[in-house]
Amino acid sequence: MHTLDWIIVGVYLVWMLWDGLRRTKNADRLEGYFLGGRSLPWWVVGLSVMATQLSAITMVGTTGQGFVDGMRFLQFYYALPLAMVILSLTLVPFFHKSGVFTAYEYLERRFDAKTRAFTSLLFLLSRSMSLGVVISAPAVVMSVVIGLSVNQTVMITAIPTIIYTMFGGVQAVAWTDVKQMVLIVGGLLAAVVVLVLGLPSGIGVGDALHIAGATGRLQTFDFRFDITNQYTFWSGTIAALFLFLSYFGTDQSQVQRYLTTPSVNEARGSLLMSAYWKIPLQALVLLVGVLMFAFYLFSPSPMLFDGRHDAELRRGPRAAEYTALQTRFDGATASREAAARAYTSARHASDQSLEDGSRTQLLEREAEVKAVRAEALAFVRSATGDTGFNDVNYVFPTFITTHMPAGLVGLLIAAIFAAAMSTIAGELSALSTASIIDFYRRFAKPEATDAHYLSVSRVATAFWGVFASVVAVWAAELGSLIEVVNRFGSFFYGSILGVFILAIGAKRATSNGAFLGLLAGMGSVAWFATYTKVAFLWHNLIGAVAVVVVGMIISLIERGVRGDAAADRRSSPAR
């Protein structure tokens, strides 16, 4: 990177650390540290929630997803507005009026301590694992930019965020998120401008989008009902609805946000901001990926965007095979470019038969490029033993560092850091809150001063930061980061949602029914994930249904047994 880019990134990191540390108002009291004194404006909380969602996973993983697969991933979010409306009418006022610190506190009031503890434990496991993926995203970027090890880049990202979260609490998290949100959106818009300006003479934005559409990358609706297909209209409106209801309604990282507002209406407003703006923002992120695909149609494209093994393979015993793959790839991309130009010319000529024929040629050449890339990925895995090798997360970082002008490179790298830090901070705060309120204060030390709990909570923040950093070391090699984090979440979210459905919507549910139902839900998801090809989004529905069905059956049996025993006692003769 240019010196100017390093200056921009360095100034950003120092500024965020300073700004987070100075936001310590009321951080010497438990409610101030965990909930910001319940005084944050709705728009701050709304932007904070959105900044958490627009994580570095989104910046790195989703742009790569858009490059490879187009806009289909947008279907994942179609249920979000409906989920936000449902939660605004149900769980938001319920939790806000209950005076709880965590969502799981209520489960003990409704059921018992074991149900509360187990549900909170599931949150801690799922969120800490997902946090590891969040940290790994900028580590991917920096490993491409400056060649540091993943361990080093993880530390660069995590340490400043851990520090200001430890000392500033949720107040520091929310206000720094506002600034980070501005930087994230600005960085994405800058990338769009550079991509559009980078198109060759004679190829406009409309032409680029038509070419992307011809290859299926602008498809935003897939009405096939196939539960093994990850992204369809039905998975995005039915299965994802359960994911969003659980994530925004029962996940402490989100519940904690709207508990920081002073009223139910402001809490609702913070959630509805996501209902209005999440889909357009996600479309912008995916559009960056689609425009990168169009850009690389007319510019030299790497065969593999992750070049870590390139030098090794060119000098190794299988160098001839690797070189032959590169030659085939260069020929395939050249043919694809010619086909793309021919398709554009046919469109401009308004000759439908010529356009249809050129579109067929374009699709054939695109399939050829995909096939060579797939061979190259398989070759690298075989030749190096790196079985997890997948370069989808390296597409956007490679574009940034090779095609963005000086200054904008630093802006985009800082934006990725901003996306990572906003999510890391919010989730560390939630992990610390659940650890202290649901476990330490509940079981270890029920009576202590706020100062004591705050000291322990800072230790908990540091612990979860280190734990997530360890997860981050290998998370970047698991494939598309945006899919990885949702796979983690979908394993837990449906079952957790099922417990809250029993707690709030089923008056006859018992504590044993809820607890055993939760175990059944987790077991059901584990079975489907292991032995079937059902797409992970449907795991949320499976988990929720299993918990409710098993929980109600056990509850009704238990109440029936109690009723029979009570009847026997009433009918027994006095002695």
Contact 506, 548 (CB under 8 A): yes
Residues 6+ apart with CB under 8 A from 40: 171, 174, 260, 261, 262
7-292+398-473: CATH architecture: Up-down Bundle (1.20)
- 216 conformational bin, left if phi > 0, alpha if psi -120 to 50, beta if neither: left
User: Is residue 483 pLDDT above 70, yes or no?
Assistant: no
User: Is residue 19 pLDDT above 80, yes or no?
Assistant: no
Helix (H, G, I), strand (E, B) or coil at 225: coil
Domain extent listing, the chain: 7-292+398-473, 307-389
Contacts 24+ apart (CB under 8 A), 328-331: 328/372, 329/303, 329/369, 329/372, 329/373, 329/376
Range of lowest pLDDT (421-425, 468-472, 475-479): 475-479
What is the mean predicted confidence (pLDDT) over 284-291?
92
Among 498, 536, 502, 504, CA closest to 520: 498
Residue 23 confidence (pLDDT): 66
What is the mean predicted confidence (pLDDT) over 48-64?
79
Contact 280, 79 (CB under 8 A): no
Q: Dump pLDDT digits (tens) for 337-349.
A: 999 999 998 888 8
- Top-confidence range, 4-8, 177-181, 410-414, 511-515: 511-515
Contact 62, 289 (CB under 8 A): yes
Residue 473 confidence (pLDDT): 74
Residue 15 confidence (pLDDT): 83
User: Is residue 575 pLDDT above 50, yes or no?
Assistant: no
User: Is residue 184 pLDDT above 60, yes or no?
Assistant: yes
Range of lowest pLDDT (294-298, 489-493, 521-525): 489-493
Residues 6+ apart with CB under 8 A from 360: none
Residue 563 confidence (pLDDT): 64
Q: Residue 495: in which H helix or E strand, if any?
A: helix 481-505
Length of the chain: 575
Tokens of 519: 């175990």
What is the mean predicted confidence (pLDDT) over 169-182?
82
pTM: 0.82
Range of lowest pLDDT (138-147, 183-192, 290-299, 501-510): 138-147
User: Is residue 568 pLDDT above 60, yes or no?
Assistant: no
What distance in Å separates the CA atoms of residue 12 and residue 133, rounded to the nearest whole number?
Answer: 22
pLDDT class for 50, splitting at 50, 70, 90? confident
pLDDT class for 28, splitting at 50, 70, 90? low
What is the mean predicted confidence (pLDDT) over 542-568?
82
pLDDT class for 436, splitting at 50, 70, 90? very high
Q: Dump pLDDT digits (tens) for 104-132.
A: 998 998 999 999 999 999 899 888 888 88
Contact 219, 72 (CB under 8 A): yes
In the numeric block, the tokens 């612990």 are attached to 463
Q: Dump pLDDT digits (tens) for 376-391.
A: 999 988 888 877 777 8
What is the mean predicted confidence (pLDDT) over 273-284?
86
What is the mean predicted confidence (pLDDT) over 188-204?
90
What distance in Å separates the CA atoms of residue 76 and residue 62, rounded to the nearest whole number?
Answer: 12
Share of the chain above pLDDT 90, in %: 30
